[in-house]
Structure 1
Amino acid sequence: MRIAIVAGEASGDLLAAHLIRALRARLPQARFVGIGGPRMEAEGFESWWPAETLAVMGVVDVLASLPELLRVRRGLLARLKAEPPDVFIGVDAPDFNLSVERRLRRRGVRTIHYVSPSIWAWRGHRVHKIGRAASRILCLFPFEPELYTRHGYQASFVGHPLADVFPLEPSREAARELLQIEPDACVVAMLPGSRAGEVGHLAACYVATMQQMLAKRPALQFLVPLITRQTREQFEMALFQAGAQDLPVRLLFGHAHEALTAADVALVASGTATLETALLKRPMVITYKLGKWTFRIARWLNYLPWAGLPNILAREFIVPELLQDQATPQALSSALLQWLDDADARRAVLARFEQIHLSLRQNNAERAADAVLAELKQA
């Protein structure tokens, strides 16, 4: 049996690696080929191109990489058409994978799209584009399948892999011991995003928020996990420009999960990190800033009242969202301090986070493998 998979970026590589392991336990002779990363290769995957080929973001980067992306897509399709796989699985990367899935499906190949694009937030018309390209869509969130099935497309809820990995009761003591933080310290995790554009919009606001909080709580400590050297330099520059180099803040290379687990409360840029914060059971304030016109367009396209994943999953505002012009240092610091001052509110939101965690903990890799096997039976 021959299973083709295309995954881009580290998150797709991890998802696909877990799926390959689950499938190999049931199909030990299966061959896995396509585009993937080191985790997939560690599971015996044969990668024709590295996953980083697809890891481009932003209009400028995409345009610059377009000739290479088109060349890779042509080469991939040529190989898959010459020797059709039993099933093709596109893991996320919808702009690349949906076009591949559509062409292969026309030739009779069963196609699966793993990770539904966020049609529930905006660009809802894409449901038909996705449904025509994929024989089945594997969804990470429980409300997503109905968006497809109401139009006659097959979709399966397989749970979220982070819910399987994260413990239901994370140990703050262990995280603090690892980061060498005193057990009784009051700690705030500040997550300004993983991309340079995000950090560029938020760094100065985050620094000013820390200054506001310290004016009222001088004993506070801050942790700022940053993924790249560029984002670290951006945040260091924001500290320098504010004359705040003496703030009690530690900049970490990575270690976002440890920082969140060690913290009492968190300020988090909207995105996957908000779900991670909920799964790690930390009260949070969600924020985000974009360019003026970009934000207006995003607001016009977005038909949900919520931006953060915990609120979307709860279908109500269980944590504050302060976006764009609302995201002032005064408002952010006030919202964070309110979490620290209200023990009843903290207990209530942690109970909601546990409900979300349990709803998403579905043994993701096994359920995804079940869905793939169902498609193989129909092939």
Structure 2
Amino acid sequence: MTDKLFTRPGALKVAMVAGEASGDLLGAHLMDALKAAHPDVEFAGIGGPRMLARGFTSQVPQERLAVRGYVEVLSRLPELLRIRRTLRDTLLAEKPDVFIGIDAPDFNLGLEKWLKQAGLRTVHYVSPSVWAWRPERVVKIGDSADQVLCLFPMEKPLYDAAGVPATFVGHPLASEIDVAPDQNAMREQLGLPKAAPVFALMPGSRKSELEFMGGLYLEVARQLLARYPDAQFLVPLATRPTMDQFDQLLTRHKAWDLPIRKLFGHAQMAMIAADVVLVTSGTATLEVALTKKPMVISYKLSWLTYQLVKRKLKLPYVGLPNILAKRFVVPELLQKDATVEKLTAAVAELYDNQGSRQDIIDTFTTLHHSLKADSAQLAAEAILKVARC
């Protein structure tokens, strides 16, 4: 652990916690925008490789926070609580000008509440899914954050109604990704044949997700290869530990003979090059939608975690593209429905059915335009109003 996080006297001190790969991306964009608006700024807390590349000081590796599900969290709870207490004590001692919790609400909102009660300014970037489950959290979020930054347009009215300061900033991926990505150019860049079926397999950025989904996706790839003998598979992996873990899955499932191209990061490249994406539910589903690709959304949790989550869901879908479109644009195969046979059939149907693919592309194009804004700049402006500048 780093003893002292901030070392430059006089600089604007911005503390941030990004708990996983999607938060690391948001944090990196935000750091760029804050530097542009306020050049003398220093960043520290917990962040990932993109943030570190921009000069961020991380107290612990980001991977230490990447865990999913109630049951899975329990086994890591003592360590997570220890990390949060240590960071809290460090921040209370060093008194940053503003703290920004990027997503990871179970970790960040409690930390934000401690800091806010101690007189520090706090921002929560990425509203929890209050429109999908546990809407009563809006008031509690207001107790923790001086400002909530919302990525989706339907979120701000919920906070306005509760008297919680909130700003709609759009989603940075909508500005980063072209509205009409060039599949042929991407395949040429990756050295893939233009006419072959290409499938992207995205089992998740967390090690726990890989453990649940990785082997399943490999078996789906085997079935798809039997149906499409010239098929190619792309598997983007976010970190070196998940890359190593995937290699272990290849060995365990005797799958080294499959035509799989592993990519270290470069998830968007895989999506753009693919005809269909098999993706684990989460932020990645929105990224796939913004690349206009048909997808099958899947997810598996431990039985107990699934039972706890299922009771609290307010919507019939879990994938962000379906939630935002308010209908099942793409299939979701979850828990007991996440079988090799069903996933293979769903992916093949999307590949073979050109009519359904065009409807998906049209819907995702409309969605893209609704989320497009200068997100990082809007977020930076809102944060600087909250910070002690």
Task: Name the TM-score class by shorter chain.
Answer: 0.7 to 0.9
Question: For residues 292 and 73 of structure 1, what CA distance do their matches in structure 2 show?
Answer: 33
Deviates more, 1:342-351 or 1:70-79: 70-79
List alignment gaps of at least 5 residues for structure 2: 1-10, 68-72
Which residue type is aligned with residue 4 of structure 1?
A: V
Question: For residues 62 and 139 of structure 1, what CA distance do their matches in structure 2 show?
Answer: 28
Question: For residues 239 and 96 of structure 1, what CA distance do their matches in structure 2 show?
Answer: 33
Question: For residues 320 and 155 of structure 1, what CA distance do their matches in structure 2 show?
Answer: 32
From 123, 137, 147, the equivalent of 1:136 is: 147
| Matching residue of 2:193 | 182
Does the Cα contact within 8 Å between 2:18 and 2:101 map onto a contact in 1? Answer: no
Does the Cα contact within 8 Å between 2:113 and 2:143 map onto a contact in 1? Answer: yes
Question: For residues 328 and 26 of structure 2, what CA distance do their matches in structure 1 show?
Answer: 29
Question: For residues 287 and 231 of structure 1, what CA distance do their matches in structure 2 show?
Answer: 19
Which residue type is aligned with residue 35 of structure 1?
A: G
The structure-2 alpha-carbon separation of the partners of 1:342 and 1:367, relative to structure 1 and needing over 3 Å to count, comes to same
Question: For residues 233 and 99 of structure 1, what CA distance do their matches in structure 2 show?
Answer: 33
Q: CA deviation at 1:245?
A: 4.0
Does the Cα contact within 8 Å between 1:5 and 1:91 map onto a contact in 2? Answer: no
| Matching residue of 2:317 | 306
| Matching residue of 1:294 | 305
1:35 and 2:50 matched: no
From 189, 194, 198, the equivalent of 2:205 is: 194
| Matching residue of 1:165 | 176
* TM-score, length basis structure 1: 0.86
Deviates more, 1:251-260 or 1:295-304: 251-260
Pairing 1:1-379 to 2, within 5 Å after superposition = 2-9=12-19, 10-28=21-39, 31-32=41-42, 34-35=44-45, 37=47, 47=57, 49=59, 52=62, 55-57=65-67, 58-80=73-95, 85=97, 87-106=98-117, 108-228=119-239, 230-232=241-243, 234-236=245-247, 238-240=249-251, 242-375=253-386
Q: CA deviation at 1:89?
A: 3.1
The structure-2 alpha-carbon separation of the partners of 1:287 and 1:365, relative to structure 1 and needing over 3 Å to count, comes to same
Which residue type is aligned with residue 18 of structure 2?
A: G
How many pairs align? 372
2:33 alignment partner, SS class:
helix
The structure-2 alpha-carbon separation of the partners of 1:329 and 1:94, relative to structure 1 and needing over 3 Å to count, comes to closer
Q: CA deviation at 1:318?
A: 0.3
Q: CA deviation at 1:376?
A: 5.6
1:190 alignment partner, SS class:
strand
Question: For residues 210 and 53 of structure 2, what CA distance do their matches in structure 1 show?
Answer: 33
Does the Cα contact within 8 Å between 1:13 and 1:36 map onto a contact in 2? Answer: no
Does the Cα contact within 8 Å between 1:311 and 1:317 map onto a contact in 2? Answer: yes
What do residues 320-354 of structure 1 show as CA deviations (whole Å, max 9, x unaligned)?
A: 00111112222111111111221121111101111
What do residues 212-255 of structure 1 show as CA deviations (whole Å, max 9, x unaligned)?
A: 32333323222222334554455455555555443333333333
List alignment gaps of at least 5 residues for structure 1: none
Which residue type is aligned with residue 253 of structure 1?
A: F
What do residues 84-110 of structure 1 show as CA deviations (whole Å, max 9, x unaligned)?
A: 73x443333434433343344345544
What do residues 67-124 of structure 1 show as CA deviations (whole Å, max 9, x unaligned)?
A: 34312211211322xxx73x44333343443334334434554432222122233333
* TM-score, length basis structure 2: 0.84
Question: For residues 317 and 306 of structure 1, what CA distance do their matches in structure 2 show?
Answer: 7
Q: CA deviation at 1:316?
A: 0.8
Which residue type is aligned with residue 55 of structure 1?
A: L
The structure-2 alpha-carbon separation of the partners of 1:127 and 1:179, relative to structure 1 and needing over 3 Å to count, comes to same
The structure-2 alpha-carbon separation of the partners of 1:67 and 1:216, relative to structure 1 and needing over 3 Å to count, comes to closer
Q: CA deviation at 1:271?
A: 1.0
What do residues 307-327 of structure 1 show as CA deviations (whole Å, max 9, x unaligned)?
A: 111111111110000111112
Q: CA deviation at 1:138?
A: 0.5
Question: For residues 154 and 240 of structure 1, what CA distance do their matches in structure 2 show?
Answer: 51
Does the Cα contact within 8 Å between 1:56 and 1:65 map onto a contact in 2? Answer: no
Identical columns (%): 46
Question: For residues 35 and 238 of structure 1, what CA distance do their matches in structure 2 show?
Answer: 33
Deviates more, 1:8-17 or 1:286-295: 8-17
The structure-2 alpha-carbon separation of the partners of 1:24 and 1:214, relative to structure 1 and needing over 3 Å to count, comes to closer
The structure-2 alpha-carbon separation of the partners of 1:193 and 1:96, relative to structure 1 and needing over 3 Å to count, comes to closer
1:297 alignment partner, SS class:
helix
1:305 alignment partner, SS class:
coil
Does the Cα contact within 8 Å between 2:152 and 2:371 map onto a contact in 1? Answer: yes
RMSD: 2.9
Question: For residues 247 and 58 of structure 2, what CA distance do their matches in structure 1 show?
Answer: 39
